[in-house]
C-alpha cells in the first residue's frame, strides 16, 4: 500500500496553487497517495475551477471540507489575514472526523495560516509539517517575529534602523508587512500567533530553491534563538498550465502574431486591484511607452483595497470600457490587448513573444516569471510583495521597481513609461533578461531528478515512508 499524506492549504490562489503542485509531485515522483484537503468556505470561482476541472494523477484525491457559516465572524471590511484565519479556524473543526477516515496517514502538511490543525495532528498522533508558500526570506522574518515582539518596545515602523533578522539582509522599514506596521491591530495578533507555532512543526517545506535565496536559506539553517525544525526548499512549485477559456485563447492567438520578446504582460495576480486614479495612470503610461502589451484589467477597487479581488477572483463582472480612459482601447488597438479579469498566466509568460512582466510580485508570480525567464517591472501592492520586489531588484537583479509619487501615492504615467521602456527596450532590460535566463536554468534543474529541490523533497519523502 502506498504511504498516505494529507495536505491542507489556506484559501487563496497563492496558497492553493503551490499545494496542488506539491501534491502532484508527491504522487508522480515519490509514490505517495495524497489527500488535498480544501477549505471551501469563501472559495473563489478560480479555485473551484482549478481543483475540479483539472485531470488528477492516480493517487491524488481532492477532499472538500464542509462549508461553515462565518457570516457572524467575518465581513468585507476586515483585514485579509484576519478573514483568512477565521475561515480556516472554523473550517478546521471538521478535520478530526476527516483524518480518522484516512488509513495509514503518515503526515499532515498544513499552511501556516492553518496552524490550528497542529492540535488535531497531535491528538491523532500524526506527524505535522508546514508548507510555507512564500519566500525563505519571509519565513526567516516570521520565525524571528516572536523574538522581535519580546525585545522591541513600541512600533517597528518607528525603529531608527532597518529590522535585522539574524543571517539575513536587513529589512527596510518601508518594506515591512502591512500586518506588522501596527502592533495593536488584530491582523498583527493573528500573524504573531501563527508565527509562534511554526517551530512546532517537525519540518518546514518552503517554495523556493537554493540558487534563488542562498543567504536566507543559509540563515534558516543557522537560527540559534529558537529551536527551528529542519527546512526543506522544494520549489519552485508553480502551476504547469491554466485551463483555457475563450478570452484566454484569444490572447494566446494574439501573442502568436507578435515578434519575440516584444510583449509586456501586465497582471496584478489573483487578488490585486488598483484605484480608479491608478488605473488611469497605468493606461496612459502603457500608451506612452509605445510597447506591445497584454493587460489583465480588473475594475477599480471602490474601497481602495489592494487585495480587493482575493476572495472572488474568476467570478466578478468586468467590462474595461466602463473604467479605462476614453478612447484608450481604440488608440492602442493592434499594439495592446486588454483581457478582463483573468488570463492563462503561465502560457503567456512561457510564450516566445513575451519579453517582460509588470507584476505585483506575489511569490507565485515571481517564481513563474523566473521559471519562464521573463524580467519584471516590480509593482508591489500588499502582503510581502514589497519585500519580494526589493529582493528581485537589489539581490537577484531581474527587476526594476516602479516608484510611486509621494504626494499622490500613485505611480505616475511618466514613471510607468520609463520603467516599461527600460525593461522592454533598454540596455538594463537586456542585462536583466540575461540574468533571469541564467536563473531560469538553475531553477528548472533544481526540480529535476538529482537537483537540489528534488533531493530536498526526496529527503522528506524518505522520512515519511519510514513511518509506514
Catalytic residue IDs: 15, 111
Give the containing element (helix H, strand E) for 355: strand 354-359
Neighbours of 91 (CB within 10 A): 26
* Cell numbers linked to 309: 479581488
Q: Where are the alpha helices (DSSP H) in 296-412?
A: 328-331, 345-349, 363-371, 385-390
For helices 363-371 and 427-447, the axis angle rounded to 10 degrees is 90
Give how far the C-alpha of residue 158 lies from the chain's centroid of Cα atoms, to the nearest Å: 28
| Cα 184 to Cα 79: distance, rounded to the nearest angstrom | 13
**Dihedral sign of CA atoms 283, 285, 289, 293 in order:** negative
The residue written with cell numbers 488535498 in the block is: 36
| Cα 37 to Cα 66: distance, rounded to the nearest angstrom | 10
CB 7 within 8 A of CB 466: no
Encode 53-78: b = buried (16+ Cβ within 10 Å), e = exposed.
ebebeebbeeeebeebebeeebeeee
Give how far the C-alpha of residue 167 lies from the chain's centroid of Cα atoms, to the nearest Å: 24
Judged on CB neighbours under 10 Å (0-12, 13-18, 19+), 170 is exposed
Question: Count of residues for the chain?
Answer: 468
Determine the number of helices (DSSP H) and then strands (DSSP E) in the chain. Answer: 17, 13
Query: Distances in Å between the alpha carbon of 292 and those of 255, 319, 329?
Result: 10, 21, 13
SS3 399: strand
- Give the angle subtended at the CA of 115 by the CAs of 117 and 104, to the nearest 5°: 35
Amino acid at each position: 500500500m502506498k504511504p498516505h499524506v494529507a495536505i491542507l492549504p489556506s484559501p487563496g490562489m497563492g496558497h492553493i496553487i503551490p499545494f496542488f503542485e506539491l501534491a502532484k509531485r508527491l504522487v508522480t515522483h515519490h509514490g505517495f497517495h495524497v489527500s488535498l484537503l480544501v477549505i471551501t468556505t469563501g472559495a473563489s470561482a478560480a479555485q473551484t475551477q482549478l481543483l475540479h476541472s483539472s485531470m488528477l494523477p492516480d493517487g491524488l484525491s481532492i477532499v472538500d471540507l464542509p462549508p461553515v457559516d462565518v457570516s457572524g465572524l467575518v465581513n468585507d471590511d476586515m483585514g485579509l489575514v484576519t478573514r483568512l484565519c477565521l475561515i480556516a479556524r472554523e473550517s478546521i473543526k471538521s478535520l478530526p472526523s476527516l483524518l480518522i477516515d484516512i488509513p495509514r496517514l503518515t503526515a499532515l502538511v498544513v499552511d501556516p495560516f492553518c496552524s490550528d490543525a497542529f492540535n488535531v495532528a497531535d491528538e491523532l498522533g500524526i506527524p505535522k509539517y508546514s508548507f510555507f508558500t512564500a519566500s525563505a526570506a519571509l519565513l526567516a522574518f516570521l520565525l524571528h517575529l516572536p523574538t522581535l515582539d519580546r525585545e522591541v518596545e513600541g512600533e517597528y515602523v518607528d525603529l531608527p534602523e532597518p529590522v535585522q533578522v539574524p543571517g539575513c539582509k536587513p529589512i527596510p522599514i518601508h518594506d515591512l508587512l502591512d500586518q506588522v506596521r501596527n502592533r495593536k491591530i488584530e491582523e498583527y495578533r493573528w500573524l504573531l500567533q501563527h508565527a509562534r507555532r511554526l517551530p512546532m512543526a517537525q519540518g518546514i517545506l518552503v517554495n523556493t530553491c537554493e540558487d534563488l535565496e542562498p543567504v536566507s536559506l543559509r540563515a534558516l539553517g543557522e537560527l540559534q534563538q529558537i529551536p527551528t525544525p529542519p527546512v526543506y526548499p522544494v520549489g519552485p512549485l508553480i502551476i504547469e498550465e491554466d485551463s483555457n477559456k475563450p478570452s484566454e485563447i484569444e490572447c494566446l492567438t494574439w501573442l502568436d502574431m507578435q515578434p519575440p520578446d516584444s510583449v509586456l504582460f501586465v497582471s496584478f495576480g489573483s487578488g490585486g486591484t488598483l484605484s480608479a486614479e491608478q488605473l488611469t495612470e497605468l493606461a496612459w503610461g502603457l500608451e506612452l511607452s509605445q510597447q506591445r502589451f497584454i493587460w489583465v484589467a480588473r475594475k477599480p477597487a471602490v474601497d481602495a483595497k489592494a487585495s480587493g479581488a482575493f476572495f472572488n477572483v474568476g467570478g466578478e463582472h468586468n467590462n474595461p470600457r466602463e473604467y479605462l480612459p476614453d478612447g484608450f482601447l481604440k488608440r492602442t488597438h493592434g499594439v495592446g490587448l486588454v483581457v478582463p479579469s483573468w488570463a492563462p498566466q503561465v502560457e503567456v509568460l512561457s510564450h516566445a513573444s513575451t519579453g517582460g512582466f509588470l507584476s505585483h510580485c506575489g511569490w507565485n508570480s515571481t517564481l513563474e516569471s523566473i521559471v519562464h525567464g521573463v524580467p519584471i517591472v516590480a509593482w508591489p501592492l500588499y502582503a510581502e510583495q514589497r519585500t519580494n520586489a526589493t529582493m528581485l531588484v537589489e539581490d537577484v537583479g531581474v527587476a526594476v521597481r516602479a516608484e510611486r509619487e509621494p504626494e499622490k501615492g500613485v505611480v505616475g504615467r511618466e514613471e510607468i513609461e520609463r520603467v516599461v521602456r527600460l525593461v522592454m527596450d533598454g540596455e538594463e532590460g537586456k542585462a536583466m533578461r540575461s540574468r533571469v535566463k541564467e536563473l531560469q536554468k538553475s531553477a528548472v534543474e533544481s526540480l529535476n531528478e538529482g537537483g537540489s529541490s528534488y533531493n530536498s523533497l526526496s529527503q522528506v519523502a524518505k522520512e515519511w515512508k519510514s513511518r509506514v
